[in-house]
Structure 1
Amino acid sequence: MIGLLAAFFSSFIATLLIIRFQHLHSHISADSDLSGPQKFHKISVPRIGGIGIAIGIFVATLLRLQSHDGVNIEALLVMCAIPTFAIGLTEDLTKKVSVKTRLTFTAVAALLACIYLGAQINRLDIPGIDYLLSIPAIAIIFTVFAITGLANAYNIIDGFNGLSSMVGIITLMGLSYVSYAVGDPLMMYLSLVMAASILGFFLWNYPRGLIFLGDGGAYLIGFWVAVVTVMLVARHDNISPWFALLINAYPILETLFTIYRRKFHQGKSPGQPDGIHFHTLIYRRILNPICHAHKDDLFTANAKTSPYLWALTLFAIAPALLWWDSNVIQITFLLIFMVSYVWLYKRIVTFRTPGWMHHY
């Protein structure tokens, strides 16, 4: 409990200090580009919120090291996360780091987690595939790809106040629940300590957007969620491997759909930004027009966007938690989620948004 409180308050205070003294660092830390396809803020805002989250995790880890002999798993996870957080933070400060470079550093972090934490995907409960995953080299390559992809997915969905951070909190709380159900206090703690650190940032980010998560924060959250998910499934054979997919279904599907849309529909590089993510469509087609009609502040429309995606996240996570040990049910709800996502996206993009989504 002390570690969780330390993580929350350290993150909360560190984020407050970043905001309070932004005049000292805004020349390198602020997101002053207000014209990009994924820019929906109206003033320059610091985008180094990941520092607060990292400080929260670091302080909690130091406390754990003082009360435990030797290097613990949490400390190893923190060290493994350094490359992906560092390269993300570098992008936040310089705006000059390519997507390929960020993915490369994240892949290195994932490889370190495979080696030092035993975070490896070694089964999907599919004959033939499981045989291939029993070969260490193949399992490591597959795991590195999966962890890197999910870390990047959290950066992709980080489009509005509180969106990526709350998705991370919801997912981590789900992981902590299943950890408790299978009697794994370590995985439960790793889930809760990151959730506590994110919450310290979230209270400053949502709803007013006083600070942004940034690439450093998004990659750190996504990497942590990915590694804990992989480790939890690897440590307990009674957890369905498809649980890992369903509990992370929203960011994964958003990423896959983004790659498909950019590469095959737009003929662009998947790394180029565009303005038609699911969250962007909700903002532009549902909330922005309503806020205009009600003479509301557009900034409020930003904050109102995220709850739609939080609900979508819960739509996948709820069945993942209820039937975490059943392959059949996990796969069934994964397919239902995929169909629902594509159906909703198509309805919104063609100006046929379901009436129940216009509740304001």
Structure 2
Amino acid sequence: MTGLLAAFFSSFIATLLIIRFQHLHNHISADSDLSGPQKFHKISVPRIGGISIAAGIFTATLFRLQSNPGASLEATLLVCAIPTFAIGLTEDLTKRVGVKSRLLFTAIGAAMAAIYLGAKITRLDIPGVDYLIALPGVGLILTIFAVTGLANAYNIIDGFNGLSSMVGIITLMGLTYVSYTVGDPLMMYLSLVMAASILGFFLWNYPRGLIFLGDGGAYLIGFWISIVTVLLVARHHNISPWFALLINAYPILETLFTIYRRKIHQGINPGLPDGIHFHTLIFRRILNPICNTQKGDIFTANAKTSPYLWVLTAMAIVPAILYWNSTYILITCSIIFTVNYVWLYKKIVTFKTPDWMHPY
């Protein structure tokens, strides 16, 4: 409990200080580009919220080592996360780091976690495929690809106040529940300490957007969640590997659909930003026309967008934590979630949004 409180208050206070003294660092830390396809804020805002989350897990790790000097896994995971966080923060400060560089450094962190923590995908519970994964190096490559992809996915969904951070918290709560169910207090701790760190940031980010997560924060959250997920499945063979897929279904599916939309449908570079993500469509087609006329409401169209995606996230996480040990049910739920995602996206993009999605 001490570690969790330390994580929360360290993150909360660090965020407060960043906001309070932003006039000293806005020239390098602020997101001043207000014209991009994924830009919906109206004033320059610090985008270094990842520092707060990093401060939270760092402080919690120090407390953990002080009370339990043998807590090497926690400290090692923190070290493995450094390349991912560092390259993301560098982008936040310089605005000059490309997607390939961010993915490369994240892949380095994933390889470190696989080698030093045993965070490696070893099975998918699919006959024949598991044999291939068991071949030397295949599991390591698959793990690096999966961890790097999920870390990038959290950056992709980081488009509105509270979206990526609360999706992370909800997912971590799901991981905590399953960790408790299988009797793994260490995975519970790793999940809760990150959730507490995110919460310290979230209270300043939502609903008013006083600070942004930034690439450093988004990549750090995605990396941490992916490693904890892989570790949990690797440590407990009664947990289906499809649990790892379904509990992270929303960011994974958003990333895959974005790649398909850009590369196959539009024929452009998948790394380029665009303005037709699921969350962007909800903002532009459903909420912005209604909320744009409301004055003095802190819950603007920006803030009202995120709860839609929180609910969508829960639609995948609830069956994941209920049927964590049943591969066939998890595969079925994954298919159902994917079909519903594509159906909703098509409805919104063709101006046929279901009535129940309109707030009024």
Deviation at 1:135, TM superposition (A): 2.1
* CA–CA distance in structure 1, aligned partners of residues 330 and 295 of structure 2: 44
Task: Establish whether residue 185 from structure 1 lines up as the match of residue 165 from structure 2.
Answer: no
Alpha-carbon contact 1:292-1:298 (below 8 Å) kept: no
User: Deviation string for 1:90-130 (max 9, x for gaps)?
Assistant: 00000000000000000000000000010000001111111
Deviation at 1:71, TM superposition (A): 5.2
Over the aligned positions, Cα root-mean-square deviation in angstroms equals 1.1
Give CA-to-partner distance per residue, 1:278-321, whole Å, 9 cap, x none: 00000000000111354576971100000000000000000001
Question: Structure 1, residues 32-74: CA drift from partner, whole Å, max 9, x if none?
Answer: 1000000000000000000000000000001111112245111
Residue in 1 that maps onto 2:23:
23
Structure 1 residue 220, shift from structure 2 partner: 0.1
Could you give the per-residue CA deviations for residues 202-222 of structure 1, whole angstroms, max 9, x where no partner exists? 000000000000000000000
Partners of 2:42 and 2:80 lie apart in 1 by: 36
State TM-score, norm by structure 1. Answer: 0.98
Counterpart residue identity of residue 177, structure 2: Y
Q: Relative to structure 1, is the Cα distance of residues 62 and 298 closer, same or farther in structure 2, using a 3 angstrom cutoff?
A: closer
1:153 is matched with 153
Deviation at 1:136, TM superposition (A): 3.6
Task: Specify the alignment match of 1:207 in structure 2.
Answer: 207
State the distance in 1 between where 2:258 and 2:139 align: 26
CA distance in structure 2 between the partners assigned to 1:207 and 1:123 by the alignment: 40
SS in 2 for 1:312: helix
- What residue in structure 2 maps to residue 250 of structure 1? 250
**Aligned pairs, number:** 360
Residue of structure 1 in register with 2:42 after alignment = 42
Give the Cα–Cα distance (whole angstroms) in 2 for the partners of residues 71 and 272 of structure 1: 41
Alpha-carbon distance between aligned partners in 2 of 1:100 and 1:189, rounded to the nearest angstrom: 32
Distance (Å, rounded) in 1 between the aligned partners of 2:151 and 2:313: 16
Q: Return the letter of the residue paired with 2:329.
A: I
Distance 1:191 1:282 in 2: 29
| Matched residue, 1:55 | 55
Confirm or deny: 8 A CA contact 1:41 1:299 kept in the other structure: no
Do the aligned residues in 1 keep the contact of 2:53 with 2:217 (CA within 8 Å)? yes
3-state SS of 2:352 partner: coil
> Which whole-Å CA distance do the structure 1 matches of 2:315 and 2:349 have between them?
21
- Asked if the contact 2:38–2:274 (Cα under 8 Å) also holds between the matched residues in 1, the reply is yes
Which position in structure 1 is the counterpart of 2:318? 318
8 Å CA contact 1:147, 1:226 repeated in 2: yes
Cα displacement string for residues 248-271 of structure 1 (whole angstroms, at most 9, x for unaligned residues)? 000000000000000111111100
* Contact residue 8 and residue 198 of structure 1 kept, 8 A: yes
Partner of 1:162: 162
Paired residues of 1:42 and 1:299 also in contact (CA < 8 A): no
What is the TM-score of this pair, normalised by structure 2? 0.98
Residue 288 of structure 1 contacts residue 298 of structure 1 at CA under 8 Å; is this kept in 2? no
- Tell me whether 1:198 sits opposite 2:198 in the alignment: yes
Give the distance between the partners of 1:40 and 1:7, measured in 2 at CA. Answer: 30
1:102 aligns with 2:102: yes
1:126 aligns with 2:126: yes
Q: Which shifted more, 135-144 or 153-162?
A: 135-144
**Alpha-carbon distance in 2 for matches of 1:136, 1:152:** 26
CA contact (8 A) 2:207 2:298 kept: no
Give the distance between the partners of 1:76 and 1:41, measured in 2 at CA.
37
Cα distance in 1 for residues equivalent to 2:254 and 2:229: 18
Give the Cα separation in 2 of the matches to 1:242 and 1:114.
Answer: 19
CA distance, structure 2, for counterparts of residue 88 and residue 28 of structure 1? 14
Structure 1 residue 133, shift from structure 2 partner: 1.2
- Would the aligned equivalents of 2:64 and 2:71 in 1 still touch at CA under 8 Å? no
Partner Cα separation in structure 2 for residue 205 and residue 72 of structure 1: 32
- Cα distance in 1 for residues equivalent to 2:258 and 2:291: 27
Equivalent residues of 1:6, 1:59 under 8 A apart = yes
How far apart are the structure 1 equivalents of 2:101 and 2:301? 33
Residue in structure 2 matched with residue 82 of structure 1 by the alignment: 82
Aligned to 2:350: 350
